Structure 1
Amino acid sequence: MNILQFNVRLAEGGAAGVALDLHQRALQQGLASHFVYGYGKGGKESVSHQNYPQVIKHTPRMTAMANIALFRLFNRDLFGNFNELYRTITRTPGPVVLHFHVLHSYWLNLKSVVRFCEKVKNHKPDVTLVWTLHDHWSVTGRCAFTDGCEGWKTGCQKCPTLINYPPVKIDRAHQLVAGKRQLFREMLALGCQFISPSPACG
C-alpha cells in the first residue's frame, strides 16, 4: 500500500501535526508513505523539510504568492493543482491512498483538485480518497473558522467580517458557496471518505 498525505504546511499548525503523525506512523509500520505539502514561510521550503523523511514541497513560490495576492479579491485560490502527480500515482502498483487535510490557505484550486481525483479514479479505480476536515472551510463560502457566525447555513449572504481568516477586501463568499458545496458532493460521488476529528467540523 502507498499512502500520500497532503497538507498546506509541513509542520506548522494542528492539521500538519496530525498529517505528519500519520505519515511517520505509516513509515514505522513499513508502509510506503509520502507527505506532500504546499509551502513553508514566504512560499519557500519549510524550515522543517530536512527533519523528516519522504516529504515533498509541492508548490512553486510564485504560485503561492499569486494565490495570496489574488485571494483578497476573488475569495478563492485561483492556481494550484496536482496534475504533475498524476503519472506517478496511476503507475504505482497496488492500492494507493490519497489522504487530504488542509488544501486551502493559498495552496490549491478546489475545482482542479476534484477534476484531478476524477481523472485518477477513472484510470486507477483502486485509489482510496480520504479527506479529514480540520476546520469549517468545507461548509463556508470562504472562512476556515466560523467563529460563531451562522451565515453559512443560509448561503453566506453577507459576511459580517472581512478579516476572518483568510481575510479579503471584497466579499464574494455568497457567490462561491453553492459551487463549492457541489464540488464536495462530487468528491462524495467519487467515494471520498470524509472524517471530522471534531463534532464542530462535521
Structure 2
Amino acid sequence: MKVLMINSVCGIKSTGRIATDLADMLTEQGHTVKIAYGRESVPKKYRKYAIRIGTDWDVRLHGGVARILDNAGFGSRKATLKFIDFIKEFAPDIIHLHNLHGYYINVEILFEFLKEYNKPVVWTLHDCWAFTGHCSYFDLHKCYKWQTGCCECPQKKEYPASLLFDNSRKNYIHKKKDFQGVNKLIVVTPSQWLANLVKESFLQKYETRVINNGIDLTLFKPTDGDFRERYNLEDKIIVLGVASAWGVRKGLADFIELRKLLDSRYEIVLVGVSEEDKDILPEGILGITRTDSVKELAEIYTTADIFVNLTYEDNYPTVNLEAQACGTPVLTYRTGGSVESVPDEQVAEQGNLQNIVELIEKYEGKGASIQSFYDKNIAFEKYIELYEEIW
C-alpha cells in the first residue's frame, strides 16, 4: 500500500511528529510512505519521507497576501499544481490530509484533484479551520457563525491573521463548496468534542471517526532528575503548566491570577514561555522557555506535584497525557476535548480559579494512573486498520 500524507510540517511539532511516527509504523509493515509538507526544516532521520510543496518564497508570498486579503489556503497555486503532478506520478492508494493551513497549499486546487482522483482520503482535523471562514478555534470569542455562514470575523487579526480585509464570508463559501463532494473521504478527529462540531458543520455528510492522539510511553514515564535542586525549589509545592506558545487562549493571564490565590508554599512553573512573557511574570512564577529535550520535559512533569491546564480552546491536548504518564495528576478547565483525558472530578469550569485552588489542595502529589490509551501506537494501529478497511 502506498500512503501519501499532507501536512504543514514534517517530523516537528505535534502534527508533524504524528505524521512521521505513523510513517515509521507503516514502513515497518512493508508499506510505502511519503509526507508532503510546506514549511520549516525536516529532521534528518525523516527526510526519507519528505516531499516539499513549494519553497520558502511561496510560503512568504502566500502568507503576505493572506495578511492583506484574508485568503489563507487559497494562494500557492503554482506550487500546488506542481505538487499535483507529483501525486499523479507517486500514485498513492491512500491520501491522508492533516493541517492544510499554514500558507503552503491551495485547497481549492487540491480538492478539485481529490474529487477526480477518486481514491480513499482520510482527513485528520487537528482544529476547526476546515469548517470556519477564518479561525482555528472560536470558543474564546463564543462565535458560532460557522454554523450558518461566517462574516465580520471577531478574530480577523488572529491566526491566520489579516491586517486589512475581512474575507471570512467568501472563505466560508469557498470551503463549503470545495471540501464537499469527495466520494471516499473519512474525517478523523482526536476528540469527541471536535467530532461533535464536525457533525454540526458543512462536513457533516462525511463519516466521522474519533482516534485519540497518543504519546510515546517509553519517553513519557516517571523520570528522575535534579530540576528542584537546579531551580532551588526543594521546599516548594510545584504547580506546572506547559504549552508550546502561551497567551490568552492557553490561560497565561489566569496563571498570573492563580499566583495571587496561592500561598508562599507554592511555586508555579510555566514551560514554553517566550522571553517577552518572562517580563510580565510575577514573583512566584518561574518561566522556562521551550525545551526540545523530551527527557528534560519528562523530568519536569515527574517533579511537579500537580499539572494544571487552564486552556480556553483546545482539541485533545497531549500535555494532559504526558503529565499523567509521568505520574502527575492533571486539573483542567472544562474546555473542548481537554476533559476527555482527565477524570471528571478534576475538571473546573472556565475561569473558576477558586475551584482550581481547591482542586490543587486536594490532588497535589497524589499521583496519576498511567492508562494504556495514552500509547501512541494504539492510535497508529487504528489508523492502519482504517487504511486497510477503505483501501
Coarse TM-score class (shorter-chain normalised): 0.7 to 0.9
Q: What is the CA distance between 1:86 and its match in structure 2?
A: 4.3
Separation of aligned partners in 1, 2:42 and 2:186: 32
- Report if the CA contact (8 A) 2:5-2:36 is conserved: yes
Q: What is the CA distance between 1:55 and its match in structure 2?
A: 1.5
In structure 2, what residue type is equivalent to 1:97?
I
Instruction: Please point out which of 174, 178, 188 is paired with 1:195.
Output: 188
| Alignment map for 1:27-46 (pairs within 5 Å) | 27-40=27-40, 46=41
Q: What is the CA distance between 1:174 and its match in structure 2?
A: 1.7
| Alignment map for 1:57-76 (pairs within 5 Å) | 57-76=52-71
Q: Which stretch shows the higher mean deviation, 95-104 or 72-81?
A: 72-81
Separation of aligned partners in 1, 2:83 and 2:53: 10
Q: What is the CA distance between 1:102 and its match in structure 2?
A: 0.6
Separation of aligned partners in 2, 1:88 and 1:175: 30
Q: What is the CA distance between 1:183 and its match in structure 2?
A: 1.3
Instruction: Please point out which of 109, 128, 134 is paired with 2:120.
Output: 128
In structure 1, what residue type is equivalent to 2:133?
G
Q: What is the CA distance between 1:85 and its match in structure 2?
A: 4.4
1:47 to 1:17, Cα distance in 2 relative to 1, 3 A: closer
Separation of aligned partners in 1, 2:155 and 2:83: 37
Q: State the identity %.
A: 26
Structure-1 residue corresponding to 2:107: 110
- Taking structure 2 as the reference length, what is the TM-score of the superposition? 0.45
| Alignment map for 1:1-202 (pairs within 5 Å) | 1-40=1-40, 46-48=41-43, 50-52=44-46, 53-76=48-71, 77=73, 78-80=75-77, 82-90=80-88, 96-121=93-118, 127-148=119-140, 149-169=143-163, 170-187=165-182, 190-202=183-195
Q: What is the CA distance between 1:154 and its match in structure 2?
A: 3.3
Separation of aligned partners in 2, 1:193 and 1:91: 24
- Report if the CA contact (8 A) 1:4-1:99 is conserved: yes
- Secondary structure of 1:174's counterpart equals helix
1:88 to 1:105, Cα distance in 2 relative to 1, 3 A: closer
Separation of aligned partners in 2, 1:92 and 1:160: 42
In structure 1, what residue type is equivalent to 2:36?
V
1:193 to 1:165, Cα distance in 2 relative to 1, 3 A: same
- Taking structure 1 as the reference length, what is the TM-score of the superposition? 0.83
Separation of aligned partners in 2, 1:101 and 1:197: 12
Larger Rg: 2
- Report if the CA contact (8 A) 1:4-1:98 is conserved: yes
Q: What is the CA distance between 1:66 and its match in structure 2?
A: 0.6
- Secondary structure of 1:107's counterpart equals coil
Separation of aligned partners in 2, 1:92 and 1:59: 17
Separation of aligned partners in 1, 2:175 and 2:59: 21
- Report if the CA contact (8 A) 2:42-2:50 is conserved: no
- Secondary structure of 1:138's counterpart equals helix
- Report if the CA contact (8 A) 2:53-2:83 is conserved: no
In structure 2, what residue type is equivalent to 1:168?
S
In structure 1, what residue type is equivalent to 2:192?
P
Separation of aligned partners in 1, 2:103 and 2:80: 14
- The Cα offsets for residues 25-67 of structure 1, whole Å up to 9 and x where unpaired, read as 1111111111111121xxxxx152x221322222222211110
- The Cα offsets for residues 180-199 of structure 1, whole Å up to 9 and x where unpaired, read as 11211123xx2211111123
- Report if the CA contact (8 A) 2:53-2:104 is conserved: no
Separation of aligned partners in 2, 1:65 and 1:179: 23
Instruction: Point out which structure has higher relative CO (alpha carbons under 8 A, 6+ apart).
Output: 1
Give the superposed CA RMSD.
2.1
Unaligned runs of 5+ in 1: 41-45, 122-126
- Secondary structure of 1:83's counterpart equals helix
- Report if the CA contact (8 A) 1:151-1:158 is conserved: no
- Secondary structure of 2:99's counterpart equals coil
